[in-house]
Amino acid sequence: MSSVQPLPTHYLVTIRRLIRFALVGIAMGMVLGIVWTELRKTVQPSNPFVVGQDYAASAHTLEPGKGSRAQIALPPGVALDAGIDLKLAHGHTVLLLGLLPLSFAFLLHLSHVYGGTEIRKGTLQLAFWLYAVGSTGAVLLMAYKGWASFVEIRAGNFDFHAVDRGLFGGQRWLRGTCYGLSHTALAVGGFLFLGAVYKSTGGLSSQATAAQPVAAKPAPAQPAPAQPSAEPPAQPSEGAAEA
């Protein structure tokens, strides 16, 4: 079996970038999870058994209670939907900025180890930067939408359509540009990388080459024991007998 060739320099650079990007992304996802958890504790669903807190009621300011940080009570359905995009941003950040970049780095290394053709430096650079910029923009937009919606709903604006239209200062062209560019860059970068790795592994044999066990050395042959002669013993001659 031939020895594995060392990784090309541009492979090492890309893998290092992907790993560092993933570490930062996982940290961002953890921070967003903590932010959402703490922010969510300031809101609680309204109690329908309390006068004035029925399902159709508006937000109610709460007096600070012992051991509770809830500042406002929202109708149950509104409380569930308030800031849902900020909650989703936590999981999307861990996936898009953490797990997928680590998977890309693993695939790149694996394709080289098993003899895939070398991917060009420019292709890897373009794929990385498109994906990094696009995925970061996508999760930041999701976090912004969740935060802004939560603030508006907590203030008593339960018209979700009005809240949504008010994002980005009400500028639809700005919203479309941000979402269009970020998601396009994310998709193009991801598929460019996957396509390059797929093409690199296209020449690999479909037959797995299993390692053959090393045959044991044969034991040295033992000398055969001497066989007794089948001829009768020689008779003494007459002269020897007379002597």
Contact 133, 61 (CB under 8 A): no
pLDDT tens for 2-38 read 566 788 899 999 999 999 999 999 999 999 999 988 8
Which residues lie closer than 8 Å to 157 by C-beta, 6 or more apart? 163
pLDDT for 115: 86
Mean pLDDT (the chain, rounded): 80
The residues that bridge with 72 in the sheet, in sequence order, are 43, 61
Both structure tokens of 82? 């308030």
Provide the 10 A C-beta neighbour count for residue 84.
14
Give 183 or 223, the one with higher predicted confidence: 183
Rounded Cα–Cα distance for residues 68 and 78 (Å): 20
Which of 44, 40, 59, 51 lies closest to 159, judged by CA?
A: 59
Phi, psi of 102 (to 5 degrees): -65, -35
Rounded Cα–Cα distance for residues 138 and 188 (Å): 13
Which of 39, 63, 41, 40 lies closest to 50, judged by CA?
A: 63
Which pTM does this prediction carry?
Answer: 0.75
Contact 21, 132 (CB under 8 A): yes
Provide the 10 A C-beta neighbour count for residue 66.
4
Residues in the chain: 243
CA angle 171, 177, 179 (to 5 degrees): 105
CA angle 183, 165, 42 (to 5 degrees): 90
Sort strands 72-74 and 43-45 into parallel, antiparallel or unpaired: parallel
Contact 76, 126 (CB under 8 A): no
- Give mean pLDDT, residues 151-177: 86
- Please report, to the nearest 10 degrees, the dihedral formed by the alpha carbons of residues 15, 17, 23, 28 taken in order: -140
Provide the 10 A C-beta neighbour count for residue 119.
21
At residue 140 the predicted structure's pLDDT band, cuts being 50, 70 and 90, is very high
Residue 169 has pLDDT above 60, yes or no: yes
At residue 211 the predicted structure's pLDDT band, cuts being 50, 70 and 90, is very low
At residue 149 the predicted structure's pLDDT band, cuts being 50, 70 and 90, is confident
Ramachandran class of 83: left when φ > 0, alpha when ψ lies in -120 to 50, beta otherwise: left
